Amino acid sequence: MKKLIFAFLFLATNSFALELHTYDQINAAVSTGKSIHILIHYSQCTAPSAKPEQSGSSSVFTPNEMSINNDNGYIAASLMHFTLNNPDFLGKPIYEFSRYTLLNNNSVSLSSQVLDAVTYSPLTNKVTYNCQLNTGAKVYI
């Protein structure tokens, strides 16, 4: 019975994500091969006044590849996502290109742009959300 309880406790403690609170913690985790998850709460970030309405929206991104630039103090990752469900282009095949940049001042920027699926030409202007780590953006391992 004790073995069963210890096994359950071990599995339960491994199922919780550990939040990273600073750029240095994120850099150390990524530099040692750990996967991170970036959570963005759009309503807690700043964006241009013409930003899309995102008041109740959040997104999570788990990058597979990241670039660490210690000389300039940032970690960057990008994502190209194919969809037919973009609200501005319903039914039209498009790519949504997003770049996540974690900066050494403990901020995170998320830039997004919609591209034509055939020509890759921009269909929208780039929109950038700027977030503070621990409020608008959270990072977990």
Domain range holding 49?
17-140
User: Is the confidence at residue 9, as pLDDT, over 60?
Assistant: no
Give domain status of residue 38, yes or no.
yes
- 76-90 pLDDT per residue, tens: 999 999 999 999 999
Give domain status of residue 51, yes or no.
yes
Question: For the whole model, what pTM was predicted?
Answer: 0.83
- What local confidence, expressed as pLDDT, does residue 14 receive? 56
Name which residue leads in pLDDT, 7 or 118: 118
Give domain status of residue 63, yes or no.
yes
The count of domains in the chain is 1
- 43-67 pLDDT per residue, tens: 999 987 655 566 678 999 999 999 9
Give domain status of residue 45, yes or no.
yes
Give domain status of residue 97, yes or no.
yes
Give domain status of residue 6, yes or no.
no
Q: What does the H/E/C string look like for the chain?
A: CHHHHHHHHHHHHHCCCCEECCHHHHHHHHHCCCCCEEEEEHHHCECCCCCCCCCCCEEEECCCCCEEECCCCEEEEEEEEEECCCCCCCCCCEEEEEEEEEECCCEEEEEEEEEECCCCCECCCCEEEEEEECCCEEEEC
